[in-house]
Structures are given as structure tokens and as C-alpha cells.
A = this chain, B = another copy of it.
Amino acid sequence: MLRLGHRPDRDKRMTTHVCLTARALGATTVHIDSADRELEERVDKVVQQFGGDTRVVTGENPRRVVKETDLKVVHLTMYGENIALWDDDIWHDLRSGPGVLVVVGATKVPREFYELAHINAAVGNQPHSEVAALAIFLDRLTQGEPLGRDLKGKVTILPQERGKRVHFETDAVTEDEGSP
């Protein structure tokens, strides 16, 4: 996926949430336009602990990323065609194609990207959150598969009805935390 308009100071938490959401939902690479070494390290730390191979690359030229990709470019914007009303054909085409590059903005997205995108897709035509839009779009695209997978990280969360249970690979011990 590609994140546009990232401002390292102002968008620190939002962009971290974007990256972690993309990772949890199966993205392999997150391109960020502004250089932000700390963000790369922050997400990489989660990947080291919890597994998977999602890579965050910052300081990228977003036009080049979009122009040079072989993937289908889906730009998420509340001004686009509402995915809630899409024909199944569109989903089918996206799933059976070479893959998808999802584009989300932090600030106003330059007109050029509306033109470069194959699809301008609205996760509802209401203002809400790019994290929410990304999450719902990817969940629907992947039909929830990544959410159910085991990433085989050093840290594994063991689902519980109540409380917290976490498995740490290093000492092969499973611990119930004292208090959630």
C-alpha cells in the first residue's frame, strides 16, 4: 500500500496505525512518501516480535510508486464509488488480478492520484478515518483470511474468553498475565 501526505510529527500515531493495520490485514509493503526512520523502526519492531514480513519503506516518490507498479491501484477516498454498492465482479477482478496497491492520504490528495488510480473507492461516502477505510477495504478484499492466520512470531497471543495469554518463543513458556 501507499500512504500519501505523511507528516512525521503530526501524523505519527495515525500513520503507525495505518502501517499496523496494513500488516495485520496482509500487506507486504507499505510505501510512505516522507522519510521517517523512526516509523520504519517502530513497525519493524512489531514485525520482529509478532512475525510476518511486512516492510515499511519511507521517503518514496509516490508518483513513481503508482506509475511503476504492476498492481491494480485502488485509491480510497470518500468521493469515490461506494464499495458497499459494488458488483461482486469488481471484487472478483481485484482478487484474481496481480494484486492491489491501496492508496490512502493523510492530507488532501493531489488530483493527479485520482487520475492515476484504476479505481477511486469510497468506504461509504461519509467522512470518517483512513485507518477505518483501509481496514474495511482490506478485510473485504481478503475476505478476512489474514485476520485468522498465525504469523509465527516470537510473541503469539493465545485467544482467551477473559484476560490475556501470551506465548513467548524464546523461553517456550506460556504466561498468563496477572492483570489484563
Check A135 for interface membership: any CB of B closer than 8 A. yes
Tally of this chain's copies = 2
Check A147 for interface membership: any CB of B closer than 8 A. yes
Which of chain B's residues have a CB closer than 8 A to the CB of A20?
126-129, 132
Q: Are A126 and B24 in touch, CB under 8 angstroms?
A: yes
Check A50 for interface membership: any CB of B closer than 8 A. yes
Check A23 for interface membership: any CB of B closer than 8 A. yes
The complex places the Cα of A175 from the Cα of B14 at a distance, in Å, of: 31
The complex places the Cα of A81 from the Cα of B125 at a distance, in Å, of: 31
Check A57 for interface membership: any CB of B closer than 8 A. no
Check A4 for interface membership: any CB of B closer than 8 A. no
Q: Chain A 111-150 against B: per-residue CB contact (8 Å), 1 yes, 0 no? A: 1001100001011111111011111100110001111100
The complex places the Cα of A128 from the Cα of B25 at a distance, in Å, of: 9
Which of chain B's residues have a CB closer than 8 A to the CB of A14?
13-14, 17
Q: Are B50 and A127 in touch, CB under 8 angstroms?
A: yes
10 A–B pairs (Cβ distance < 8 Å), ordered by A: A17-B131, A20-B132, A79-B163, A83-B147, A109-B180, A114-B180, A115-B162, A120-B161, A125-B156, A132-B134
